[in-house]
Chain A
Amino acid sequence: MKIIFTALIFLLFISQNIFSQTLYATDSDSLFTADSGYIPNQALVEKMNPRKPLWLPIIEGIGLNLALGAFNSYVMNSEFAKISFKSIEYNFERGWSTDADELTTNMFAHPIHGSIYYNLARSSGYNYWTSLGVAAIGSWQWEFFMEIEPPALNDWVMTSYGGSMLGEMFYRFSNLIIDESATGGERFWRELGAGIFNPGRLFNRLITGKTSRVTNEKLYERQPFVGELAIGGNNVAEGTDFKNGDRNLMITAEIIYGRLFERTSYKPFSFFRFNGSFNFVGEQPLIGQLRVENILTGKSSKMGSGRFLYGVFGHYDFLNNSVYEIGAASVGLSMGYRSAKNKKVQFIGLLHGSLVLMGGANSDYVPKVEFLDSARTYNMGPGASAKLETFLRFPFGAISLDYSFWWIHTWDGAMGDEFIGMLQPKIRIKIYKKWFVGLEWLLYHRVGKYDDFPNRNYRNNEQRLFIGYSF
């Protein structure tokens, strides 16, 4: 995780010379500038980067699994990796199951693993959907062949679909960093920086000689992005008062890639929004929050003096603190509206309704379920989610109000339903050029309704105070 986090910061710093845009609270909000995205000529791409046969990324994925399996078995001496023909036969006879790994493994590490499979295909010339398929094959092969534990359906969903979401985000980040006209030290650092995000792509670039190819042709799509990096403190409190909480040093990052309302049609990830928060010093987990939302397809058109859009969006949510553990990969329908962009006060709103393909939410009762081992503290299953995002931009800053809701129907764990909501008002005030200060309050609520246990109802809150820089 530290690598990813370091790489994220690395990206934020080195990419400022690519698109000098700023976000929300500062002077040159990208929402007010023309679309300056770059989409390369397809014929040129096919000439310079011809598509590899499909079997190649599939074989690479299986090779990655074999190498990782050998490492787990012979170096780490992990019991789960001691496979045999008997264990493979058993896995096929047993069929899909679930596993009892902790939230970070299942909802974060598996999507990261899937992003590598995904990018082996993506960097071989395939689009989002085919690369998602290759990730699914890689994950399936791992689950059925590479572990003595029965194949876990939750892992397969999170590695394939969750992996495609993180994978495409990393692919587009690496597009912003790679510059094949650069040479020397700059080139080395760019290739390395892109490779930290995207090791699958780095591997393919190394074996095909692209890391050392020098050309002035622009071969990789780039869309404008805006972002902010903030540092401050948070207080994760039991209940709804501000006292008795756990105080942490916190770093947050937000990146908005692509111009959602400036287009009329969309391809997967021509727009996405990334949010991350990371805790230090206190008792909270290092990764507090990772969220990605992206468009898969949609249409946008004029509505009065503003713009309206509807489409299919994907969502990846990973929230982890001492009170709440939530992980979910979802897909669903969304609509949005942006008011006229020539006014001093601008409104942006998005409403999402999604199916949760696989999700997890912590519960007091999970340890009482006999077939789970102690590593898992959450109930798991499919469900639904909804999200409302509203944003008001003023000359002096911005106010946003987000509300997220998840319903997880327990498929594995304490049977019942988990309903979790998170209200998230936030204010940012511009203080100097690209610098801002901000306040954020997160109100969590959770209702657990169980078949065999008393229902639970909680409210908790978190306060955040920060200073940030937008780019």
Chain B
Amino acid sequence: MKKFYYIIVLIMIYSLSFAQTSKTESVVSIRGTAIKSIGEIKEIWETGSALYLSYENISTTNQFSYMFQVGYINFKENPNYNFEGNDAYFNIIPLQVGGRYYITLQTIRPFLLAMTGINVFSSKYPLKPATDPEKEDMYSGTFVKFNFQVGLGVAVKLFSNLQLEVLANYNSHVLDASTHYNVTGLEIGAGLNWTLGN
């Protein structure tokens, strides 16, 4: 967990080191989301919640931004699944890069987003459903895999530096090429954006 805090601090320092220029906006955001698993993963891990911290640099000339994001995702088990114990957990630390396209950069800013990167998975219970016992213990422990997220949302300016945003994402986080499911889910959330340097 210490590493996670170091990464957050590093991103904050990195963000603050970027001075505002006339053609770009630097934005630091914090957001919380709720995740609803879809596909086979939901048989075991049905819902989740996440907290993200991101740094974004928006080009006001072409309305694109690039973004760095780190987060922490915690999944809750499906009560119908037999875990044979009460100490199961499934957590993810996503480290992502990506970008947004803002349809307009006015007071109300609708956007499309795409993020990718790596997930550091941590699981104390096999992710495989009991129906596929062949690789029952394949995903216990800590492992790193590819992540992918696309979505849309809208940011609304509350004050000159502060925006509220809501978004909805589709997640397809890879577990393994050989499995017949991944960590797929729908994610909705809200966050606060602080524009630096204004």
Interface residues of A (CB under 8 A from B): 54, 92-98, 130, 133, 136, 140, 151, 153, 371, 380, 411-412
Q: Could you list 26 examples of A-B contacts with CB < 8 Å?
A: A92-B170, A92-B172, A93-B181, A93-B184, A94-B180, A94-B181, A94-B182, A95-B39, A95-B174, A95-B181, A95-B183, A95-B184, A96-B146, A96-B172, A96-B174, A96-B182, A98-B177, A130-B64, A140-B150, A153-B146, A153-B177, A371-B178, A380-B177, A411-B177, A412-B177, A412-B178
| CB <8 Å contact, B184 and A94 | yes
Smallest Cβ distance from A432 to chain B, in angstroms? 52
Known: A411-B177, A412-B178. A93 touches B148 (CB 8 A): no
For the complex, what is the distance from the CA of A39 to the CA of B23, rounded to whole Å?
Answer: 24
Smallest Cβ distance from A50 to chain B, in angstroms? 14
| CB <8 Å contact, A93 and B101 | no
Dominant SS among interface residues on chain B = strand
Smallest Cβ distance from A19 to chain B, in angstroms? 32
Cβ–Cβ < 8 Å partners of A98 in chain B: 177
A95 is contacted by which of B99, B173, B178 (Cβ under 8 Å)? B173
Cβ–Cβ < 8 Å partners of B182 in chain A: 94-97
Cβ–Cβ < 8 Å partners of A95 in chain B: 39, 148, 172-174, 181-184
Smallest Cβ distance from B63 to chain A, in angstroms? 9
Which of chain B's residues 139-198 have a Cβ closer than 8 Å to chain A?
Answer: 146, 148, 150, 170, 172-174, 177-178, 180-184
Interface size for B (C-beta < 8 A) is: 22
Interface residues of B (CB under 8 A from A): 38-40, 62, 64, 99, 101, 114, 146, 148, 150, 170, 172-174, 177-178, 180-184
Smallest Cβ distance from A192 to chain B, in angstroms? 33
Smallest Cβ distance from B92 to chain A, in angstroms? 14
Smallest Cβ distance from A347 to chain B, in angstroms? 38
Which 7 A-B pairs give the minimum distances between C-beta atoms? Answer: A93-B39, A95-B182, A95-B172, A412-B177, A95-B184, A98-B177, A93-B38
For the complex, what is the distance from the CA of A54 to the CA of B150, rounded to whole Å?
Answer: 18
Cβ–Cβ < 8 Å partners of B114 in chain A: 133, 136
Cβ–Cβ < 8 Å partners of A92 in chain B: 38-39, 170, 172, 184
Cβ–Cβ < 8 Å partners of A94 in chain B: 39, 180-182, 184
From B146, B177, B184, name the one whose CB has the most chain A CB atoms within 10 angstroms. Answer: B177
Closest to B39 in A: A93
A54 is contacted by which of B101, B172, B183 (Cβ under 8 Å)? B101
Closest to B181 in A: A94
Tally of A-B residue pairs with Cβ under 8 A? 48
Closest to B99 in A: A133
Smallest Cβ distance from A49 to chain B, in angstroms? 17
Cβ–Cβ < 8 Å partners of B40 in chain A: 93
Besides A136-B114, A412-B178, 15 more A-B contacts (Cβ < 8 Å) are: A54-B101, A92-B39, A92-B184, A93-B181, A95-B173, A95-B183, A96-B146, A96-B174, A98-B177, A130-B62, A130-B64, A133-B99, A153-B174, A153-B177, A380-B177
Cβ–Cβ < 8 Å partners of A130 in chain B: 62, 64
Cβ–Cβ < 8 Å partners of A371 in chain B: 178
Closest to B172 in A: A95
Closest to A156 in B: B148
For the complex, what is the distance from the CA of A436 to the CA of B180, rounded to whole Å?
Answer: 55
Closest to A151 in B: B172
Cβ–Cβ < 8 Å partners of A54 in chain B: 101
Smallest Cβ distance from B192 to chain A, in angstroms? 27
Closest to A411 in B: B177
Closest to B174 in A: A96
Cβ–Cβ < 8 Å partners of B174 in chain A: 95-96, 153
Cβ–Cβ < 8 Å partners of B180 in chain A: 94
Smallest Cβ distance from B143 to chain A, in angstroms? 12
Cβ–Cβ < 8 Å partners of B150 in chain A: 140
Cβ–Cβ < 8 Å partners of B146 in chain A: 96, 153
Cβ–Cβ < 8 Å partners of A151 in chain B: 172
Cβ–Cβ < 8 Å partners of B181 in chain A: 93-95
For the complex, what is the distance from the CA of A92 to the CA of B36, rounded to whole Å?
Answer: 13
Cβ–Cβ < 8 Å partners of B148 in chain A: 95-96
For the complex, what is the distance from the CA of A94 to the CA of B101, rounded to whole Å?
Answer: 27
Closest to B178 in A: A371
For the complex, what is the distance from the CA of A95 to the CA of B183, rounded to whole Å?
Answer: 8
Cβ–Cβ < 8 Å partners of A96 in chain B: 146, 148, 172, 174, 182
Cβ–Cβ < 8 Å partners of B101 in chain A: 54
For the complex, what is the distance from the CA of A133 to the CA of B114, rounded to whole Å?
Answer: 10
For the complex, what is the distance from the CA of A43 to the CA of B150, rounded to whole Å?
Answer: 35
For the complex, what is the distance from the CA of A140 to the CA of B149, rounded to whole Å?
Answer: 12
For the complex, what is the distance from the CA of A96 to the CA of B174, rounded to whole Å?
Answer: 6
For the complex, what is the distance from the CA of A95 to the CA of B38, rounded to whole Å?
Answer: 10
From A94, A133, A153, A412, name the one whose CB has the most chain B CB atoms within 10 angstroms. Answer: A94
Cβ–Cβ < 8 Å partners of B170 in chain A: 92
Closest to B66 in A: A129
Closest to A137 in B: B114
